[in-house]
Structure 1
Amino acid sequence: MSNAWILGTASTVFQKWPDRTFRDLAKEVVEGVLSDSGIAGSDVEHIVFANCAMGAHGQDNIRGQVALTALMRDGRLPARVPIVNVEAGCATGSAAFHAAVSAVRAGDVDVALAIGVEKTLVPDDPVRTFQLFSGGIDQRHKHEWRTFFAEQGKRSGMGWTPHKHRILFLDVHAMQARHHMATHGTTAEHLAVIASKNHGNAVHNPRAQYRFEVPVAAALADKEVVEPFTRSMCSPLSDGAAAVLVCSDAFLARCTKQTARRAVQVRASVLVGGTWRNIEDDNVVAHAAARAYDRAGLTPDDIDIAEVHDATSYCELQATELLGFCERGSGGAYAASGATARDGARPVNASGGLISKGHPLGATGLGMIDELVRQLRGEAGALQVSSNVRVGLQQNAGGLIGLDEALCHVGIFEHRA
């Protein structure tokens, strides 16, 4: 089985792009990833296209073909390259990456492109924008999760009070955050520390949606969304695109020395599905992390830098525990210690994370990989945390099965040059 190598990455700025088309966003990152990798579009043998929202814009099927056909017609991509469309909620981009890596490792192709393009904002129809997120949980059997969440809220003492004008995921994360606070002594200030860190990091990121600092006190005093979260602790609605180009050992051997020196090895790319669980049980992140470390032959201590799925500040806190960066229950104190800061022992979300860089669903996971690759190569510019980072971890999850994310990806990457 071949190794898989990342040859190139690219990302647009993540923000609200009401006047840009899916084709326009796709064109920017395809041209960017080919330029970054130094190879021709004609070398691409397989494309996996990640998207959640094109249906809300009138294109339910063959989304990648529609977004990329102009590039194929112009010869920048092969005319008959197969395009496989994937959707997995907020984990869609990572699902596309995993499929590209799998195709290369299996020996089916030497070069595969994973691309995510997203427009979550439907400017003239806010209801349709809201419905994009409703689709991340079972809409055919609503009574099952409504009963389950009410039972979990009652048995844990955390309550369950969703609001029809609030994205349900926020209530699910908030209930778990309140349980963590009651069980381990985590505070709202711990959540504000994480939010403030990520907002501060994004100031240096030219691809970030929000590029302003938010002091801890301001994060605490911001508009409440749902207890214990304020607006500063939650990721925004975003549009954008990102792409990652993956190749085999054989193809890398034919590349120039400069290209080979910049290649980043995929030590692990693991997907794990969610299941119904109680609020005190480990979620899918712990299971995906265990498999990824085993696949890579590494431990949490080997990770120099991480980009994790901070849809809320609590999601980052929980991820640092479940990924093994700190003891269970100590995620708040770990963040407050400065260990996850850009100048800390293990920077987490140096890009600004979803909270500040943005969260364009189908592009999110690929954008996280793009940020890690820049860091591992030492090419992150003002964002660069250290010249010594060699191994990076990405964790991205999406959808809901009860309290669990429906799908979680953990990727581990190493740059040895």
Structure 2
Amino acid sequence: MTNAYIVGAFTTRFGRASEKTVRDLTREAYLGVLADAGMETGAKIEFAWFGNCMMDYWGQAIIRGQVCFLPLVREGLFPERVPMINVEGGCATGSMAFHGAFKDILSGQSDLSLALGVEKLFDPRPGADIFQWFGGGHSPFDREELLEEYHRVARNIGVAFTPEPNRTLPMDTYAVQAAYHMKRYGTTREQIAACAAKNHFHGSLNPKAQYRFTMSPEEVLADRLVVDPFTRAMCSPLGDGAAAILVCSERYRNTLPEPIRARAIRIRANVFTGGKYRNEDEPSLSRVAADKAYRVAGVTPAQIDVAEVHDATSFCEVYQMEMLRFCEIGEGGPFVASGATSLGGQLPVNTSGGLVSKGHPIAATGLSMLTELTTQLRHEAGDRQVEGAEFALQENGGGVIGLEEAACAITILQKV
């Protein structure tokens, strides 16, 4: 089986880009990834995977990628007749696009494949309400079953589960999961706040981040309450952005000029798992995916030098430290609060700033995480560089099924 490599990686700056259309963001990410790979056009691209979740809100419900790339085809920047598959998987959409490109290379049918994810979530028009579109992240056919599951868990630990229309349902589901963890293991708001403050510091070093300011744990705790125990600073914001990755075969990599070839990053593992209704103490789908990824890559958790994990809330990072075996179950709070996941710590996590600071344009998120890790393994991250980074891990989940996500990706990368 051939090896697969990331040969190009790019992300736009995340934030509220009301002056840019989805096509504008697509163009910026596409031209950016070509430039990163030392290419003027995409003439050698043989397949493409386009990720998006919310474009129907803006009026384009189907053939989204083809519509966004039409001007690029007409200008000769993207090759004619190249197939493009549209992908949607909630917050894991970008990683699903990457998974498709990765399999293109492993199959031997393509030597160069593109994965691109784009999202516009900010609508400045008076009275605009995109929150209703987030309901697509869980099943309307089983909504009452999902709500009752969270009511049950909330009752058992003595808290309320009260979704409201002024926030997305996932914030409420994460809040119950956090409350359960706090009750079961003694995790504290202060530990979650320390995690958020750490990522706001990392984000202040990232020129592509939506939020580029620091916050102390005390400032995080004092911020506006979204849903107990989360303040605004512990939650990912709404924003716009796009990211893209070019995946190539070893055969293609060997044809490249040395400066480009030397920056290629090997994909050691790319694993997906699916969600189910699990009990409260059963490890999540990310634990299953991580264990398989470690086996496929032939590495252990102790060998990972830097990680990007899906912190839609700062509690999520605390929890994923346990699921990814970076610490024991129940020890995520103390592990993060100790500084272990900060720059200069035992295992720097979310050096990009994570979703709470870098931002979370849904379909672009997974690819932006991979771009950050690629930058780290190339040793091109500047002030946020993890010294001597060789192995990197990405965890990206999407959707809601019971007490976990509908899908989860784990990717392990290596500097070569």
TM-score band (shorter)?
A: over 0.9
The one-letter amino acid paired with 2:389 is: V
1:125, CA displacement in angstroms?
6.6
The CA RMSD over aligned residues, in Å, is 1.2
Instruction: State the partner residue of 1:215.
Output: 216
Deviations 1:241-284 (A, max 9, x none): 00000001111111112221111000011110100012222111
The one-letter amino acid paired with 1:234 is: C
Q: Give 5+ residue unaligned stretches, structure 1.
A: none
Secondary structure, aligned partner of 1:17: coil
Instruction: State the partner residue of 2:72.
Output: 71
Cα 1:65–1:126 change in 2 (3 A) is farther
Q: List structure 1 runs of 4+ shifted beyond 4 angstroms.
A: 125-128
Deviations 1:144-193 (A, max 9, x none): 21222222222344442222322110111111111111111111000000
Instruction: State the partner residue of 2:250.
Output: 249
Instruction: State the partner residue of 2:301.
Output: 300
Q: Distance in 2 between matches of 1:151 and 1:211?
A: 39
> TM-score w.r.t. structure 1 length?
0.97
Secondary structure, aligned partner of 2:272: strand
The one-letter amino acid paired with 1:4 is: A
Residue 20 (structure 1) aligned with residue 20 (structure 2) = yes
Instruction: State the partner residue of 2:379.
Output: 378
Instruction: State the partner residue of 2:263.
Output: 262
What is the 5 A alignment of 1:51-130?
51-124=52-125, 128-130=129-131
1:141, CA displacement in angstroms?
2.9
Does the Cα contact within 8 Å between 2:94 and 2:366 map onto a contact in 1? yes
Secondary structure, aligned partner of 2:262: helix
1:123, CA displacement in angstroms?
2.8
Q: Distance in 1 between matches of 2:127 and 2:54?
A: 13
Instruction: State the partner residue of 2:336.
Output: 335
The one-letter amino acid paired with 2:220 is: A
Q: Distance in 1 between matches of 2:237 and 2:375?
A: 23
Does the Cα contact within 8 Å between 2:134 and 2:168 map onto a contact in 1? yes
Q: Distance in 2 between matches of 1:201 and 1:304?
A: 16
Instruction: State the partner residue of 2:180.
Output: 179
Instruction: State the partner residue of 1:350.
Output: 351
Instruction: State the partner residue of 2:35.
Output: 35
Deviations 1:13-64 (A, max 9, x none): 0001111011111111111111111134101010100001110000000000
Instruction: State the partner residue of 2:318.
Output: 317
1:349, CA displacement in angstroms?
0.5
Q: Distance in 2 between matches of 1:362 and 1:188?
A: 29
Q: Distance in 1 between matches of 2:126 and 2:79?
A: 36
Does the Cα contact within 8 Å between 1:223 and 1:231 map onto a contact in 2? yes
Secondary structure, aligned partner of 1:43: coil
Does the Cα contact within 8 Å between 2:9 and 2:33 map onto a contact in 1? yes
The one-letter amino acid paired with 1:412 is: I
Instruction: State the partner residue of 1:412.
Output: 412
Q: Distance in 2 between matches of 1:266 and 1:354?
A: 23
Instruction: State the partner residue of 2:287.
Output: 286
Instruction: State the partner residue of 1:139.
Output: 140
Deviations 1:188-220 (A, max 9, x none): 000000000000111111000000011111101
Q: Distance in 1 between matches of 2:32 and 2:383?
A: 20
1:128, CA displacement in angstroms?
4.2
1:397, CA displacement in angstroms?
0.5
> TM-score w.r.t. structure 2 length?
0.98
Q: Distance in 2 between matches of 1:277 and 1:172?
A: 14
Does the Cα contact within 8 Å between 1:133 and 1:167 map onto a contact in 2? yes
Q: Distance in 1 between matches of 2:199 and 2:152?
A: 34
Does the Cα contact within 8 Å between 1:38 and 1:259 map onto a contact in 2? yes
Deviations 1:59-104 (A, max 9, x none): 0000001111111111111011111000000010000001110111
Q: Distance in 1 between matches of 2:298 and 2:218?
A: 41
Q: Distance in 1 between matches of 2:95 and 2:324?
A: 17
Percent of paired sites with the same residue: 47
Number of positions where the alignment pairs a residue of Structure 1 with one of Structure 2: 415
Deviations 1:279-313 (A, max 9, x none): 22211111111111111111101100000000001
Deviations 1:339-396 (A, max 9, x none): 100111110001100000000000000000001100110111222121x001000101
Does the Cα contact within 8 Å between 2:153 and 2:176 map onto a contact in 1? no
Q: Distance in 2 between matches of 1:216 and 1:270?
A: 34
Residue 199 (structure 1) aligned with residue 213 (structure 2) = no
Residue 3 (structure 1) aligned with residue 3 (structure 2) = yes
Is 213-222 or 118-127 further displaced after alignment? 118-127
Q: Distance in 1 between matches of 2:384 and 2:75?
A: 35
The one-letter amino acid paired with 2:372 is: E
